[in-house]
Amino acid sequence: MTEDQKLIKFQQRIDADEKIEPKDWMPEGYHKTLFRQISQHAHSEIIGMQPEANWVLRAPSLRAKKILLAKIQDEAGHGLYLYSAAETLGLDRSEMIDMLHKGKAKYSSIFNYPVLTWADIGAVGWLVDGAAIVNQTMLAKCSYGPYARAMLRICKEEGFHQRQGYEIMAKMMNGTEAQKEMAQDAMNRWWEPSLMMFGPHDTDSPNSKDSMQWKIKVESNDRLRQRFIDRTVEQAHHIGLKVPDANLKYNKETLHWETSDINWEEFKNVVNGNGPCNHQRLSHHIKCHNEGQWVREAALAFEAKQMSNPATIK
């Protein structure tokens, strides 16, 4: 089969909603953008543990601490599913981590903002995981089998994450004046960064055209962002939170909430490594990775010992 024929056949499989599996032929561009996206997604899950981990020792009750610990462990699991999905494309996890450390791979902009109060933990669960679910429910329909299957498992857990965050916000909005102010302050700081999670406008998104043709993404950045806005504005109003946008308006014709445009300068700045916590997040990851070297060496030594003595292999 010629390259052109392979390309046509590949697109026919995509158009017929067939899943592409690791050993199938795929165009170089499909492989490249899929690897880029899945590995960046995996890094986001792992870096995303940092802002929340900071609050484990300061959670206001044992119940809150147990929920937060469970959530952070879930995020680690999501990272591992995603690294495994990315490894099916032929690079191993250590190479991906090396790319992250060298600034050759990104992670989500949202994790470069500080988590200043307990209300921020509520806002992260409600808004950040809420945005992640909208995006990931779409990605569960992605054309690449291992990524789509990882997403199905991840989405089930993200639902719990979003609800625990909303519960924290709802409780605070039912509390004292100081607690209400804290919740509103968290909303004010996390709203716009959450909208940025969906990426640039469709017209400014260099990867969208190919990604949508190949059904790596089956819905566009703006469409998903709008779905998140419509859902979240109603949830905010339900518990008495104000959406920090003077131009927020319900359009009775389109049945959508309209918002101000995002501060794209800030978005670019954060994505380019100059957000409030970029340096802290990456240097902490590098430090922990280096400190964990002995664990990886011990695991490899143990494996080598097991392999040299077949009687111990179960």
Residues of the shown chain interacting with ligand FAQ in the complex, contacts defined by CB under 6 A: 36-37, 40-41, 44-45, 48, 75, 106, 108-109, 124, 128-129, 132, 135, 196-200, 205-208, 211, 217, 221, 271
Q: Which of 299, 296, 277, 293 has the alpha carbon at shortest distance from 47?
A: 277
In the block, tokens 């953008």 appear at: 33
For ligand FAQ, give the closer residue by CB, 122 or 199.
Answer: 199
- For residue 123, CA distances in Å to 85, 154, 285 come to 29, 20, 23
* Least distance (Å) between residue 85 CB and ligand FAQ: 11
DSSP one-letter code for 314 = -
* Least distance (Å) between residue 124 CB and ligand FAQ: 6
For ligand FAQ, give the closer residue by CB, 44 or 232.
Answer: 44
* Least distance (Å) between residue 285 CB and ligand FAQ: 13
In the block, tokens 């990931």 appear at: 136
Three-state secondary structure call for residue 78? helix
The residue type of 263 is N
For ligand FAQ, give the closer residue by CB, 4 or 261.
Answer: 261
Between strands 249-251 and 256-258, the pairing is antiparallel
For ligand FAQ, give the closer residue by CB, 109 or 184.
Answer: 109
* Least distance (Å) between residue 283 CB and ligand FAQ: 18
For ligand FAQ, give the closer residue by CB, 172 or 271.
Answer: 271
Cβ contact 14:142 at 8 Å: no
* Least distance (Å) between residue 209 CB and ligand FAQ: 9
- For residue 236, CA distances in Å to 74, 122, 159, 244 come to 25, 12, 17, 11
Token duo for residue 41: 């997604």
* Least distance (Å) between residue 229 CB and ligand FAQ: 15
For ligand FAQ, give the closer residue by CB, 180 or 212.
Answer: 212
- The Cα 177–Cα 299 span in angstroms is 52
For ligand FAQ, give the closer residue by CB, 193 or 236.
Answer: 193
- The Cα 232–Cα 131 span in angstroms is 9
* Least distance (Å) between residue 250 CB and ligand FAQ: 26
- The Cα 165–Cα 254 span in angstroms is 29
Q: Which residue is nearest to ligand FAQ (CB)?
A: 48
